Structure 1
Amino acid sequence: MNIRDFMDLQKLQDIQDSFSNATGLAAIAVDNDGEYITEGSNFTDFCMKYTRGSELGNKRCIKCDNENHGTYFCHSGLMDFSIDIMVGDEKVGSVIGGQVLPSPPDEEEFRKKAVELGINPDSYITALRKVPIRTEEQIHSSCELLKQIVNHVVNLEYFKNTNGGKLSTLSEEIKHATDVIQKINTNTRSLNSIANKQKMLSLNASIEAARSGEAGVGFAVVAKSMGDLSSQSATIYSDIEKSVVEITSTIEKLASLFEEE
């Protein structure tokens, strides 16, 4: 599954930028092949220009990227993070970043790191002083929040993309069902009217049969049967009308969901 096939990457970029602006943490999203799908937000010179700019530092950074997950301390003493972007049980990418200090730095220790990595110590310390400082709790909470938001939005986009056609078809079928229900209502009312007329005819026939005496006995039996049938029909039609009312209510509720969309 390729996240590019269903995700509006600008939405992902907007979330990422807002997250970085609010927390000070750097962030960037990648697909399953490690290819960038957003532009980096709030990246620091300390990490990108100097640490990763040195051969040894970049090698160590790549090792950290490959071996760590969640929030963790990188080799240079900063805190980074890596969160999975999941659609169901399938991973479709990651958001990685961090580049923050969990406490005020010991500049002498970082000077030693600079020498070890072959970086000018003064330039390294100047860049270090621009790195945001956040508590470990803030960093963990921020990453968990980003994870929840990104995964919610990505799954919503996936659902909309894969089920949009089905929802459209369902909406059309609901409209068709509504039309059919209206026809059933019309036909049921007509049949109910016919049943009432049959009942009246049966009553009139029974009266005429009674007036005819013995000659009308057979006709009276038929008239009674017609009356019974019309009564049964009226009951059935009444039950149909009740069922139609229930179905109509359900259809209207479903239709209202699409109108809200």
Structure 2
Amino acid sequence: MDLRKFIDLDSLQKIQDQFSEATGLAAIAVDAEGKYLTKGSNFTDFCMKHTRMNEEGAKRCQKCDAEGSGTYYCHAGLMDFSTDIIINGEKVGAIIGGQVLPGVPDEDKFKTIARDLGIVEELYVTALKKVPVRSESMIRASADMLGNVVNQLVNLEYIKTMTQKRNKALDKEIDTIETSLNEVTEKTSNLQKIASMEKILSINASIEAARAGDAGVGFAVVAREFGEISKSSGDVYQRIHELVGTINKSVRNLTVEV
């Protein structure tokens, strides 16, 4: 399921930006294949320009991205989060981010990480000092809140889109029904005319049979049967007209309700 087909990405971007501005947490939305849906909000140089630009650092980050779920600590000691976007039980994307510290960092620890990754320690520590510091409880609560908001938005837009599609399909089917009913009405009217003509012919035949006397007895029987058939046909066609009228009324009522 492609989120791009029904979600307003500008609205999603706005919510994401406001979240990051209010909390200091980085955030970005991705689709089911991990491709970006939005632009990153509040991404830190520590993560993006130093850790992820380093070959070994990038490998470790990718491993965290693939395995991380909920709110968790990344390999570099920061807290990240990943919340699935779910529609009808299917994962269609995720909102991920974090890039914050749960407390005052131990610079010696991060210097060790820098040396392990082959990054200049001073540059790494300088970038580290610009990383927002938030309590772990605040980080978890903020991540949960963003996940809930995004899921509600996406599901609301999905329902809205599906409803519009169903209404269009319903309108199309109603038009088809109305066209078919009009054709049935026309054909039935023609058959009613034929039935009326048959009845007249039956009456004429009965008159001619009476004039013929005994010689026309057999013909009179046929004429009577022909008349009964014509009468029955006329009743059937009249009932069809009544049913068509009822269906037409129901279709019009349905259109108004929709």
Q: TM-score, normalised by structure 2?
A: 0.62
Relative to 1, partners in 2 of residues 1:144 and 1:43: Cα closer, same or farther, differing over 3 Å? same
CA separation of 1:122/1:17 partners in 2, compared to 1, >3 Å: closer, same or farther?
A: same
CA deviation string 1:16-44 (max 9, x = no partner): 33234246453334467755454212324
The 5 Å alignment of 1:59-78 reads: 60-75=60-75, 76-78=77-79
Q: Amino acid of the residue matched to residue 80 of structure 1?
A: F
The answer to whether 1:136 aligns with 2:135 is no
The answer to whether the 8 Å contact 2:6/2:158 transfers is no
**Compared CA separation, residues 71 and 127, structure 1 to 2 (3 A):** closer
Partner of 2:111: 115
Change (3 A) 1:22 1:68: closer
In the alignment of these two chains, the number of paired residues is 242
Number of the residue aligned with 1:81:
82
* Deviation sequence 1:100-123 (CA, Å, 0-9, x none): 56xxx432x444544334356565
Q: Which amino acid is the alignment partner of residue 106 of structure 1? A: G
**Alpha-carbon deviation of 1:209?**
4.7
Q: Is the 8 A contact 1:26 1:99 kept in 2?
A: yes
User: Residue 226 of structure 2 aligns to a residue in which SS?
Assistant: helix
Alignment partner, residue 230 of structure 1? 230
Residue 17 (structure 1) aligned to one of 14, 19, 34: 14
Kindly state the Cα deviation for residue 228 of structure 1 after the two structures are TM-superposed.
Answer: 1.0
1:106 aligns with 2:103: yes
Q: Partner letter of residue 182 of structure 2?
A: Q
Q: Secondary structure at the match of 2:81?
A: strand
| Counterpart in the other structure of 1:127 | 131
Aligned-partner Cα distance in 2 for 1:22–1:252: 47
Deviations 1:150-171 (A, max 9, x none): 47758998x8xxx9xxx89x94
* In structure 2, distance between residues paired with 1:224 and 1:10: 71
User: Structure 1 residue 252: deviation in Å?
Assistant: 6.5
The code of the aligned residue for 1:115 comes to K
Gaps of 5+ in 2: 115-120
Alignment TM-score, normalising by the size of structure 1: 0.62
Question: CA offsets, 1:198-250, max 9 Å, x none?
Answer: 33443455466557654543342122112111122113323443554566578
Distance in 1 of aligned mates of 2:134 and 2:236: 81
The aligned residue for residue 28 of structure 2 is 28
Would the aligned equivalents of 2:73 and 2:80 in 1 still touch at CA under 8 Å? Answer: yes
Q: Quick check: 2:71–2:81 contact (8 Å CA) kept in 1? A: yes
Contact 1:80 1:98 in 2 (8 A): yes
